[in-house]
Amino acid sequence: MVIDVAGKNGAVIGAASGIGRSIAHALAEHGAAVRCLDVDDAGAGRTAAIICELGGQASSGFIDVRNSANVNEVIERSREGERSLDFVVSTPGINIRKPVVDYNDADYDAVTSVNMRGCFNVIRAAGRRMKSAGHGSITLISSISCRAVEVGQVVYAGTKAATSQMVRVAAAELGASGVRVNVISPGPVETELTAPIRQHQRWREAYASRTALGRWAQPSEIAAAAVFLASDGATYITGAELFVHGGWVDIGHEYVCTNAADK
């Protein structure tokens, strides 16, 4: 069993920061050539530059997962030299925390355009490319919110549940072509986007207390799962949802974090 990605070529979407950046670094550290993509193309460039400074192989570019034409073009151009596209990992997601009765159409469109349409655009583009090649691994990032109930999360949780189900169906459709599709659902992760939550001690401790390990995850702990799913050690894993949540317990939560960005 080989849990590495040496010699593989692929893309990480959302590589400018947080979990995506950590995944890009981890894949490069394990020998992959990584195309760092983000709507923040400058941030993606910084990630790629650091990887190269550390001796890895990386390049960067712009992508907007909400724009299907852009996603199709970038995925088609993502091959490095004559290499195939061996993996795509997509991490972008946004959250607007509000009670459902306070949600407006603009809020709904903002969240679903990234979390749901964006995931669809990536699966479709990468699936087409990999199906024609006869192999490949697609990994999306969902959230424990796909199954956990928390007030203020109607739309976000709905999009994450949709992501998990899209992965299962896509895996069934693409499996015969040698393409694997999986999803990682993290629990609370320490990133820049969760800082508004973590800066409040009661909220920070409340989220930590819902895990069996009693703490937040580091982005590198999510990245380890992504490397595994892209590797030859996971060649018989598809349609799977890998929960990296520290043993999240589905119990009541008295704290409501409003207007705070999520992972």
Q: Which residues are catalytic, by number?
A: 156
Distances (CA, A) of 259 to 97, 100, 107, 186, 225: 5, 13, 11, 20, 29
Distance CA 230, CA 111 (A): 27
Tokens in use for 107?
């809020």
For the chain, where are the alpha helices, taking DSSP H only? 18-29, 41-53, 68-76, 105-112, 118-133, 154-174, 195-198, 201-209, 219-230
Tokens in use for 69?
């034409």
Cα separation of the two ends of the chain: 31
